[in-house]
Amino acid sequence: MALADIFTRPATGGIRQVTPTAAYGARPSIAGPGMAALEEWVDGVAVLTKPDRIHWVDGSRSENEALLRGMVDDGTLIKLNPEWRPGSYLARSHPSDVARTEGRTYIASEAEIDAGPTNNWADPAEMRETLTGIFEGAMRGRTMYVVPFSMGAVGGPLSHIGVQITDSPYAVASIGIMTRVGTDVLREIATGAAWVKTIHSVGAPLAPGQADVAWPCNDEKYIVHFPETLEVWSFGSGYGGNAILAKKCFALRIASVIGRDEGWLAEHMLLIRVISPEGKAYHVAAAFPSACGKTNLAMLRPTIPGWRVETLGDDIAWLRPGEDGRLWAINPEAGFFGVAPGTGESTNVTAVETLWGNTIFTNVALRADGDVWWEGLTDTPPAELTDWEGNPWTPAMGRPAAHPNSRFTVSAGQCPQIAPDWDAPEGVPLDAILFGGRRATNVPLVVEATDWTHGVFLGSNISSERTAAAEGTVGELRRDPFAMLPFCGYNMADYFGHWLSVGQKLRFDRAPRIFQVNWFRKGADGRFLWPGFGDNARVIDWIIRRVEGAVPAVDSPVGRLPRTEDLNLDGIHVPQQDLDELFAVDPALWLSETDLTEQFYSTFEGRVPAPLYAELAALRYRLRRAQG
């Protein structure tokens, strides 16, 4: 049965919910002033986009199963062999629609300065006129889905809710994994809860009798955020981050604006609980750019006996100062949307075990037995595969079988080391915050900030090699402050200032300690100096002992460093020469780096907070003294 047959067409001239088949629930019968406003908005979008059908998503299992069956019949999904991967599917996107379209992502703030130089600004009035034009009739021939969702537990004190309108069943199924979807959210709206409006269309209307394609999209793409009205409009792309608007668009860009106004932080951070051999729990949040090991750390299996890690979240954390002077965090998502390549038994066995079933894969390779494969899943690729574009593939072809940014979407609850209270509404109190990127030189394995302001300075200067998760040249060094460059919904200099102001709300003895880490430093011969993966727990071990005040640190011009003898290296061999190089600070190279920092700060035209310029001046002073 195709998707077009699942829903009954409305009567001529109608735009409201029509009587559905037995597989689907009727239009919600929930009443309240909030529902009236929601229905008016939905009807207005329908008048503009002219869908053939409207379906209010209730989040039920039967609804999801029917949706998946319809996508298989329409060719959007390939059902994987249930013997190997039960309840799982493969999607192949259009080759032009494989990553976040950062060049077409806009912040339409009333004042251009509020978007800042790191965002693409658009005049909101002009952009609304443009969007109205391209959305006119954009859903013709398709079903318009109304998806109520919650980021965080429904009704939780740190949670926020939204509604996405979309004509993509792939987006609906993905939102159902990544958020809490259902009528409970509508009840919150009905009683007056604030909600964020998000609208998405693949931009591929169908004429009467026109056959659809497996992955509809449009060469013209827009992802537009309106921070003053808390809206997101996305057009032309069906790819995850551009279509699952609850994720980067809402949970980071819009939520960062809400957090600025309400006094909290929306961050591109993993969240874990680290449990010592003595059974004491510590909570760590960490910010890394995409494809730089964030999922691996979120699902870390320590190589040090006695240590355990429980996963709380792998990508986004919302941080709020508590009345107790601590910083509390939740993972607002309900699933993982991870990069597949590089995820394997030798790098992240937890992630592999999480993907046993009930997973939507996008742009990975297909095995002859109906299972999936990607580079890094196993050391040796299968002899024959169907690549991510549907073409025959063998290892001799010398090209990847899976797209470098291929993805998996899976419920967080399937993770074998998920924390029992991972979705607790009140969240967890943070003990440490880590910032990191992919740097072959300069940045030591781990540096401790001297205080909160110095930690904000470190976060503001994170840089990393560009990855396949974003448009641009792979390998090019890009600045990515706080790993938020593509995701901050307002002027990033003001964002730095907001971090400083949040720190002022915390008790100095209860604020999380801030560290910078770099698993990727290389030696002169080009090899990685640190083994990484499970051995990163050895750095976490030192960080926790610093939090406890159990070990001293060595002052350096760039921050506090470990004594190499204080690193737990039992069971691994890291030569002393490599350890020395991992923590080497070259004053001349770092002085050059400070010039790049000043150049970066200057792009904000005087809005970078004075305390960060003071930190820059102090760093230069210490480096010059170290130079002699």
Whether residue 8 has pLDDT greater than 50: no
Mean per-residue pLDDT over the chain, rounded: 93
Which ranges constitute the DSSP H helices of 220-339? 240-243, 255-262, 294-298
542/30: higher pLDDT: 542
- Residue 42, CA distances (Å) to 17, 109, 131, 300 in order: 10, 24, 16, 43
- Confidence class for position 628, pLDDT limits 50, 70, 90: confident
Phi first, then psi: what are they for 373, rounded to 5°? Answer: -155, 150
- Residue 187, CA distances (Å) to 56, 142, 197, 406 in order: 14, 27, 16, 36
Asked if residue 517 lies in contact with residue 439, where contact means CB atoms within 8 angstroms, the answer is no
Tens of pLDDT, residues 523-541:
989 999 999 989 999 999 9
Window from 1-10, 361-370, 572-581 with minimum mean pLDDT:
1-10
Which residues partner with 148 through β-bridges? 163
How many angstroms separate the CA atoms of 36 and 206, rounded?
30
How many angstroms separate the CA atoms of 254 and 398, rounded?
41
User: All domains of the chain, ordered by start, with CATH?
Assistant: 3-75+100-263 (3.40.449.10), 266-334+421-627 (3.90.228.20), 336-414 (2.170.8.10)
* pLDDT of amino acid 100: 82
DSSP 215: S
Helix axes 492-504, 255-262, angle to 10 degrees: 40
Supply 575's token pair.
């030569």
How many angstroms separate the CA atoms of 29 and 336, rounded?
32
* pLDDT of amino acid 286: 98
Asked if residue 363 lies in contact with residue 324, where contact means CB atoms within 8 angstroms, the answer is no
Tens of pLDDT, residues 230-244:
999 999 999 988 999
Which residue in 333, 348, 388, 351 sits closest to 366, CA to CA? 388
Amino acid at 38: L
Tens of pLDDT, residues 41-96:
999 999 999 999 999 999 999 999 999 999 999 999 999 999 999 999 999 999 99
Which residue in 287, 279, 271 sits closest to 336, CA to CA? 271
Strand 269-275 with 265-267, pairing: unpaired
- The rounded percent of the chain whose pLDDT value lies above 90 is 87
Contacts of 416 (CB under 8 A, 6+ apart): 350, 353, 354
506/27: higher pLDDT: 506
- Residue 588, CA distances (Å) to 227, 434, 529 in order: 42, 26, 21
Which residue in 485, 465, 458 sits closest to 590, CA to CA? 458
Contacts of 366 (CB under 8 A, 6+ apart): 78, 90, 372, 373, 385, 386
Length of the chain (residues): 628
Asked if 292 is an active-site residue, the reply is: yes
Asked if residue 155 lies in contact with residue 194, where contact means CB atoms within 8 angstroms, the answer is no
Choosing from 249, 292, 415, 488, the catalytic residue is: 292
Q: Say if residue 103 is exposed, middle or buried (CB neighbours under 10 Å; 0-12, 13-18, 19+).
A: exposed
Whether residue 571 has pLDDT greater than 60: yes
| Residue corresponding to tokens 């950062």 | 102
The dihedral region occupied by 219, where left means phi > 0, alpha psi between -120 and 50, and beta the remainder, is alpha
Phi first, then psi: what are they for 368, rounded to 5°? Answer: -65, -25
Tens of pLDDT, residues 308-363:
999 999 999 999 999 999 999 999 999 999 989 999 988 899 999 999 999 999 99
* pLDDT of amino acid 465: 60
Tens of pLDDT, residues 401-415:
999 999 999 999 999
* pLDDT of amino acid 473: 54
Strand 160-166 with 180-181, pairing: unpaired
Contacts of 252 (CB under 8 A, 6+ apart): 266, 267, 268, 316, 484, 487, 488, 489
Which H helix or E strand runs over 231? strand 231-235
546-562 mean pLDDT: 98
